[in-house]
Structure 1
Amino acid sequence: MPSRRSALTLLAGAGAALALGTPAAGARPAHTRPFGRYGSPSRRLDALTLYVDPLGRGDHTDVASAVEAASGTGHTLVLAPGTYRGPVLVTAARAELTVIGASGDPRDTVIVHDNAAGTPRPDGSGPYGTSGSATVTVQAAGFTARDVTFANDWLRSDNPEYTGTQAVAIKVQGDRSAFHGCRFLGHQDTLYADSLALTAFARQYYRDCYVEGDVDFVFGRATAVFDRCHFRTLDRTDLAAAPYGFVFAPSTAGANPRGYLVLRSRVTSTAPDAYYKLARPWVPSSDPTAHPMLTVRDSHLGAGIDAVTPYGTMSAGFPWQDQRFAEYRNTGPGARVTVPGNRPQLTASEARAHTPADWLGDWRPRA
């Protein structure tokens, strides 16, 4: 069985999830139109559209240079199927940037790199740290991505000497960030849904997305809605006993009335039954006043979630029971209420205030 890194390289754009050997259904051969219905450099949709193709048929062969060229507001990057390796930074100056996977299948278009928190920086200034490990960092407001895979294929098994094993696929900090039909692949700290500052309540919307990982693989302080998403917890060979990890680790600022909202979603697992917790609160040293918030409602929790004790505590002094964790009308073996004190439930009246409209306010993400 190849590692994620070797499988990504071998597939070269046919995609990646944990089922890494399966190419995307209907993937186009390399000689056909690489940008599909989105035009081409010779038939550009508009002056703000740039085309990216690793085989040289676009304006750029890598995503980082295309982002650099997309200065100002309102650009669109159309990515031909392929694997794009290397870190990408979308600065705040590149507002309203849209990134589209041209084939319509996120398995075809993969942005990936392999830094971890403990990876030494080339300039000798120390390790990258968690934020620095991100394959993609989005600081701009109004960022939208469609049908793209964001991945970090750094592996613990390849680097047993590392203590900083966080490896972020994407760090999203901008307000009004939307992801439709995207995939986020990694192990620890896969999707960092965050904000630019403690006082910035960045709104984010994830629709029909797939996220996989093991330890705290959806984390941060954003006001984030996960709608009809699939969260997949991974098996681990480096641990002999449960828990293997946690799906969510919100770090919502105390002043923020809304943290993570998960609805109409599902959690599945490749690990043994009950080897994962649903969540634990993250109260970072940079914000000891954080009051993490997570609502999971109308979702299916598979057998991989420990139904008896679904929540854990990350730091002494900040028990999960003191945080804003709640559930409502969930189904599945991982949602079974066996110890009521361990499964805080919203009332029907309370649930009416836990909706995407309440979370996103005056922002309505484009479908």
Structure 2
Amino acid sequence: MVDINGTGDFTSLQAAFDAAPAGTPTIIYVKRGLYDQEKLIIPANKTNITLIGESREETIISYDIYNCNDGGDGLCPDEKVALWASNSDLIRTAATLTIMANDFRAENITIQNTAGPVGQAQALTIQSDRNVFVNCDILAYQDTIYFWMNETSRAYFETCVIEGRTDYIYGRGVAFFNQCEIRSYGGGWITAPSTTINQDYGFVFYECSLTYKANSPRNGDDGALIRLGRPWHEYPKVAWLYCSMPAEIHPEGWGDKWNMDYSDTSTDLHLYEWMNTGDGANMSGRADWAGLRAMVDQNEADLYEPEIVLAGSDNWDPTAIAPTVTVYNWDGGAANNGWLEDNNWNPDSVPAISEVANVDGSITLDANGGDFVADLNLVNGAIIDVSANSSATLLTLNQATLSSSASVALSGTIKTKGEATIDASGNLDVTAAIIGVHQITKIGAGICQLNNTNTGFTGDVVVEAGDLQAKVESALGTSGKITIKTNGKLTIDVSNAIDVNTALYTEGTAQLVLNQDITISEWYIDGVIQPIGQYDATSKSETISGSGKIIIGRPSEFTFLGGNWDDANNYSPALLPEAGEKVIVDAVTIEAQSAPFAGDMYVQNAGSIRLRRQDSQCLGPVTMYQGTNISYATSGTGFTLDAPIILEGDISFFMNSANVDGSVMNLPGTFSGDYKILVRNTRDVANSATADLGGDNSNFTGTWDLTIAATNAGGYSAINGLVENAFGNGLIDLATNNKAIFNHAKCAGDVLIMNITGSASAVLNVAVTVQQFTLNGTILGDGTYDASTHSGLLSGTGSITVDSSLSVDDKILVKYNMLKINGNLENLEIFNMLGQSMHKTNTSKEINIQWLKSGIYIVRYKIDGKIGAIKIYKN
């Protein structure tokens, strides 16, 4: 048994896998918990492992490595990848779990990759045969499951949820999805098959439910249609039988050829559909491809039963193998609806711990006392009525209702998986912890008391009728919005029951009973936001009663909604942020204006800063996360952003100008961080797009990436160093015809590393002096270099002089494969001879370099406020 809390045989999943005897059937039970500290692999010799989770919802295997263009191993973030770099099989993909052994089985567990919309980030990579997943959630965004296996290898999924957006079921081999939910964010493709021409089958979806998931982590997904797939390689084969398809399925189904010109003409592509239902199942608008069709008749459809598709040469039939974890379904066979009655469940028994119980449809079950220890899932209108004090280990509600007409308590855990309703006509005391992101609506004339600290709940709350009482700290979680309707009442007994950032809405004759003072940032009465101030039963007697008051003050955190940064209506709450206040720019675009931005800006989830003027300034720091960008689109010559920018991931500069003379992104502020900045000219005009770097970027140790060609072949991208340390301590990576322009003698600082390929060049307008210079992996000795010594790489009338005598004292000692630092370390980075970053740190003063391959490396560092670099040899 594995238990992260230490009560089992192992706290580590990988330790359990490693301890399993090779080739011997082994069952590994995993207790509830979030297992997010390991990138996992099941080696090829560890066959016949079965992995059983105690709870599908609460036993979670998670990691967040993703594919990136980092110039090294192709995986990010580097500090996490380095933990597993010694196992080449483990880091062949970004997958949270890699399966190389045959006959693996998983039940009742969640496997996920939480990297988000940053590139390939698999939850699963499968490289073996006869894999089975039953009652599992497999979640990611791009490339959720990679079938990296032989064409004859097979995998079977039953009653699973597969979630993603981009090509999230992809590869070759045979995979059968039986009664699974295939859950898509908008704008992407479900499958990317690469079936070989000799395969009879590829991906088969049988009695599956295709669903559409809103609130994507990527801006622009919501509302966009989804496609059934696009052909990745060779001759894809995908069949959809008896599935429900929502209206968000693109009418063409497929349509994207992915540079495979034969996709729409070859009948060796088998993209078949049969007896599907729902608005998305209409085939009249499907792409006009020769291999895309409805099945001919039932005889052809019968060839897609699981025991036929998966038979192979050994007649494998995973459907004949009973699940290790019993899944119960409500059939109401007992004389009453008691939830602990054997005959109400199929099979006839009360579900036990680690088992699963499902109630689907317009059914009411009676929680009439006792403990329900299995996971209890209510969906599609099901109702659980609490008639006596009861406990549910895990109750999930998805379009379902918790009701009671008695004075009773319900303990345990409640998780929303869709909108949920609490219908109390008596006095329902919810001592259970509530978690989830979905709206909860209180109805019924009675009372519902929230008596647990619900910090894991972030959904909206609506009180339609009756009294919702928040009795303890964080009883209302961190809900973004609480609405009290005309017939509703919200009673708050402790001051911190409601989060300061929750927006409170009252309508009509809604009542607020305040037994303590509360502080919030927004209160709307009939849609009108109230000014900053204090309100009580005297000043707002039509709404407020009790001895407490509402204090509306300035929040510590704002959410930006999109638009100009100088418009209060574009913030939640609707106030302009002040110095030191945090502003989240999440998956939206913030438009820079002439009025300075006073707060601290955090740009995340593909958010963007769009430049509009020549005088835009951020007074506080701007923190930019993976996949965000600074951009402009203009017919003019460019714009300015003066800001201290902190990088917490790779970002992009998108310069889009129709001006034939080119454009400039003027950046007089500073950059810090060790990530990549992609500089791109994105306008289809043969012009230049230049980022003018006018700040001291000494704390930038990442990469200036100018390796992607301008959208127009006659255009180019450039960075321009205008002041000392403008290029910081980063690698300058040039390709195509892009440029790095040197306009200050010390714009490169003390150490310059450049890669120049294609027709790219470094334009030297001044005499530049450095202590070290590495060009295309070669360390150049002391001397002067210019267009005459490196024609085609260096241009202009200036030069680069290397004078190693200017170097600071040695601060690095290498001994017994340990790199030791003398002094106060501020940052350190190890490069190979190609200029690729191998390791970064700003904390470790002793670094084990045993994992580096033999050879010469360059170590660049800032120690005791001084910048230096040395060459080391790893034997």
TM-score by length of 1: 0.74
For 2:316, the equivalent position in structure 1 comes to 363
Q: Distance in 1 between matches of 2:148 and 2:304?
A: 20
Give the structure, 1 or 2, with the largest relative contact order (CA under 8 Å, sep 6 or more). 1
For 1:201, the equivalent position in structure 2 comes to 152
More helix by share: 1
Deviation at 1:117, TM superposition (A): 1.1
Q: How does 1:1-367 map to 2 (within 5 A)?
A: 51-72=1-22, 73-85=24-36, 86-102=38-54, 105-118=55-68, 119=76, 120=78, 121-122=81-82, 131-156=92-117, 165-195=119-149, 197=150, 200-235=151-186, 244-271=187-214, 275-283=225-233, 290-320=234-264, 322=266, 323-339=269-285, 341=288, 344-348=293-297, 349-361=299-311, 362-365=315-318, 366-367=321-322
For 2:409, the equivalent position in structure 1 comes to none
Give the aligned residue type for 1:304.
E
Q: Distance in 2 between matches of 1:234 and 1:60?
A: 36
Question: For 2:8, what is the secondary structure of its paired residue?
Answer: coil
Give the aligned residue type for 2:181.
H
Question: For 1:122, what is the secondary structure of its paired residue?
Answer: helix
> CA offsets, 1:308-342, max 9 Å, x none?
44442222434255322111111111111223646
> CA offsets, 1:259-285, max 9 Å, x none?
1111100111125556110111111xx
Give the aligned residue type for 1:100.
I
Give the aligned residue type for 1:255.
N
Identity %: 28
For 2:649, the equivalent position in structure 1 comes to none
Q: Distance in 2 between matches of 1:225 and 1:194?
A: 15
Contact 1:263 1:299 in 2 (8 A): yes
Contact 1:280 1:320 in 2 (8 A): no
TM-score by length of 2: 0.32
Q: Distance in 2 between matches of 1:359 and 1:352?
A: 10
For 1:19, the equivalent position in structure 2 comes to none
Q: Distance in 1 between matches of 2:66 and 2:44?
A: 24
Contact 1:280 1:312 in 2 (8 A): yes
Deviation at 1:173, TM superposition (A): 2.0
* Inter-CA distance 321–130: structure 2 relative to 1 (3 Å threshold): farther
Q: Distance in 1 between matches of 2:204 and 2:31?
A: 32
Contact 1:184 1:190 in 2 (8 A): yes
Q: Distance in 2 between matches of 1:363 and 1:128?
A: 27
Q: After the TM superposition, which segments of 4 or more aligned residues of structure 1 sit over 6 Å from their partners?
A: 127-130
Contact 1:53 1:80 in 2 (8 A): yes
Contact 2:179 2:209 in 1 (8 A): yes
Contact 1:131 1:168 in 2 (8 A): no
**What is the aligned-residue RMSD (CA, Å)?**
2.3
Question: For 2:304, what is the secondary structure of its paired residue?
Answer: coil
Question: For 2:294, what is the secondary structure of its paired residue?
Answer: coil
Deviation at 1:254, TM superposition (A): 2.2
Q: Distance in 1 between matches of 2:192 and 2:235?
A: 11
Contact 2:3 2:30 in 1 (8 A): yes
Give the aligned residue type for 1:150.
I
More strand by share: 2
* Inter-CA distance 52–332: structure 2 relative to 1 (3 Å threshold): same
Contact 1:168 1:188 in 2 (8 A): yes
Q: Distance in 1 between matches of 2:91 and 2:251?
A: 30
- Structure 1: which 5+ residue stretches go unaligned? 1-50, 160-164, 236-243, 284-289
Q: Distance in 2 between matches of 1:251 and 1:269?
A: 25
Q: Distance in 1 between matches of 2:30 and 2:115?
A: 23
Deviation at 1:106, TM superposition (A): 1.0
Question: For 1:306, what is the secondary structure of its paired residue?
Answer: coil
Q: Distance in 1 between matches of 2:264 and 2:60?
A: 36
Contact 1:277 1:305 in 2 (8 A): yes
Contact 2:40 2:90 in 1 (8 A): no
- Structure 2: which 5+ residue stretches go unaligned? 69-75, 215-221, 323-875
Contact 1:169 1:186 in 2 (8 A): yes
